[in-house]
């Protein structure tokens, strides 16, 4: 823990800082989309365990009917099943500011309302990070190490998912380098109907910045810096997947009315005071988890970083 002291906030507490304005340092602040390709488990609160097992059942057309003669007994078909395990654990962050730092805080970045907003954004960023760090785990892969991402990679991925009988809509969680390499491929190298379609034109003019990029070739796209590297950092490994590939869960902890606590969405925000050092802490806690569920529901996309 690094304390926020008057002596170490020189960029914020100097005579040259005359205004109350401040700029946020660069970071990925986009929350994970509420997309139908993502499985969210039920609230863990009161479940009696920090881990749940999510059954996988081979019903609704998994097994076809078999041909039999007129009076033959029906064949017994085994019910195929499986499961995925999803656990939540504690994630937390703490800032601690001295009284003197709070006194000279002209910009107000140590105000409770600013720190509670930081808690909310940080909580959502943690969920995004947990999910994004799973998209490199799928057994099926497209793309090549050291080679820029392309529209061919996307087509290969969606074909793999369709052949595996994965239901759409599909979600792509990819690094912005992968996204822009594919956009460049669309703009410079693809001819015919794809180039002329409104879909491709929307991709080429997609809103700048991280986060949702819209839909292209049957995939809804989300870019984030949390997408992991591959091959010793030479590549990025994003993923394209449908429902059943990735699940996540949270366990909200209700604030205690007898303590200086408040719920910021599902997150718990609280303050504590260390009188002997004249410092005040601001903490946020979340109980979260994410896991890969059905491997065949996703495809990892490897391309040059």
Structure pTM? 0.85
In the chain, the domains with their CATH numbers are 3-11+28-60+80-130+248-290 (3.30.2400), 136-246+292-304 (3.30.2320)
- What gap in Å lies between CA 262 and CA 38, rounded to an integer? 28
Centroid of chain to Cα 208: 19
Return the sign of the alpha-carbon dihedral for residues 137, 224, 236, 196.
positive
Return the sign of the alpha-carbon dihedral for residues 234, 240, 246, 252.
positive
Q: Quick one: residue 86, left, alpha or beta (phi over 0 = left, psi -120 to 50 = alpha)?
A: beta
Residue 42: pLDDT band with limits 50, 70, 90: confident
Q: Mean pLDDT over residues 160-186, rounded? A: 94
Is the pLDDT at 173 greater than 70? The verdict is: yes
Is the pLDDT at 97 greater than 70? The verdict is: yes
Residue 198: pLDDT band with limits 50, 70, 90: low
Q: Are 230 and 22 in contact (CB under 8 A)?
A: no
Q: Mean pLDDT over residues 90-113, rounded? A: 89
Residue 18: pLDDT band with limits 50, 70, 90: very low
DSSP for 30-71 reads PPPP--TTEEEPPP-TTSSSSEEEEEEE--SSSS------TT
Look at residues 286, 193, 296, 187 and name the one whose alpha carbon lies nearest to residue 239.
Answer: 296
Q: Are 44 and 251 in contact (CB under 8 A)?
A: yes
What is the pLDDT of the chain when averaged over all its residues? 87
List the structure tokens of 292.
């890969």
Is the pLDDT at 197 greater than 80? The verdict is: no
pLDDT digits (tens, 9 = 90+) for 266-284: 999 999 999 999 999 999 9
Is the pLDDT at 194 greater than 60? The verdict is: no
Task: Tell me what pLDDT residue 46 has.
Answer: 67
């Amino acid at each position: 823990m690094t304390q926020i002291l008057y002596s170490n906030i020189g960029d914020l507490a100097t005579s040259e800082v005359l205004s109350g304005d401040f700029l946020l340092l660069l970071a990925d602040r986009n929350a994970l989309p509420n997309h139908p390709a993502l499985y969210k488990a039920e609230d863990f609160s009161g479940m009696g365990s920090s881990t749940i097992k999510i059954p996988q059942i081979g019903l609704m057309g998994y097994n076809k009917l078999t041909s039999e003669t007129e009076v033959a007994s029906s064949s017994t078909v085994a019910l195929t099943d499986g499961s995925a395990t999803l656990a939540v654990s504690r994630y937390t962050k703490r800032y601690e500011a001295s009284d003197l730092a709070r006194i000279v805080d002209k910009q107000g970045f140590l105000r409770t309302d600013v720190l509670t907003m930081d808690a909310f954004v940080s909580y959502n960023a943690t969920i995004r990070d947990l999910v994004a760090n799973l998209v490199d785990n799928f057994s099926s892969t497209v793309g090549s190490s050291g080679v820029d991402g392309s529209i061919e990679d996307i087509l290969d991925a969606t074909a793999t998912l369709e052949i595996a009988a994965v239901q759409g809509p599909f979600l792509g969680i990819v690094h912005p380098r992968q996204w822009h390499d594919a956009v460049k491929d669309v703009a410079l190298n693809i001819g015919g109907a794809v180039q002329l379609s409104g879909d491709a034109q929307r991709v080429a003019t997609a809103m700048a910045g991280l986060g949702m990029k819209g839909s292209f070739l049957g995939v809804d796209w989300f870019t984030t810096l949390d997408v992991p590297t591959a091959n010793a950092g030479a590549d990025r490994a994003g993923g394209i997947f449908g429902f059943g590939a990735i699940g996540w869960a949270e366990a909200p902890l209700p604030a205690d009315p007898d303590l200086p606590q408040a719920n910021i969405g599902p997150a718990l925000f609280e303050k504590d005071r260390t009188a002997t050092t004249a410092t005040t802490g601001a903490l946020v806690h979340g109980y979260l988890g994410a896991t890969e569920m059905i491997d065949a529901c996703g495809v990892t996309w490897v391309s040059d970083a």
